[in-house]
Amino acid sequence: MLKFHDLEIPGVQVVDIPINDRWQVYYRLQELQIQCWSPPDGSLKVDIRNDVDAILVCSAVMHITATRQALVEWLDQCWQP
């Protein structure tokens, strides 16, 4: 499950993801033009400015960290009425 931790800076969140996936998520968010950075403490901080940014962050993290089975189940749920 994706967890966000509020910082004192409005819109900036710390995203909890496994360290081995952090750089993949970082580079994907950069491609999506979402400002993010990884300070020396190893965290991933993301500037979420609107709802679309939040959805894109969740989607990018899920795409990289979820198992194939979890992604298939999620897609199946999307097609349910």
Cα-based distances in Å from 8 to 1, 4, 5, 13:
23, 13, 10, 9
Other CB atoms within 10 A of residue 57 CB: 24
Q: What is the pLDDT of residue 69?
A: 95
Q: Which backbone phi and psi does 62 adopt, to 5 degrees?
A: -60, -45
Q: In tens digits, what is the pLDDT along the chain, a chain of 81 residues?
A: 444 454 444 567 777 788 888 999 999 999 999 999 888 888 888 998 888 998 899 899 889 988 999 999 988 998 887
Show the domains of the chain with their CATH numbers.
3-78 (3.30.1370)
| CA separation for the pair 70, 33 (Å, rounded) | 26
This prediction has a pTM of 0.75
Q: What is the pLDDT of residue 39?
A: 84
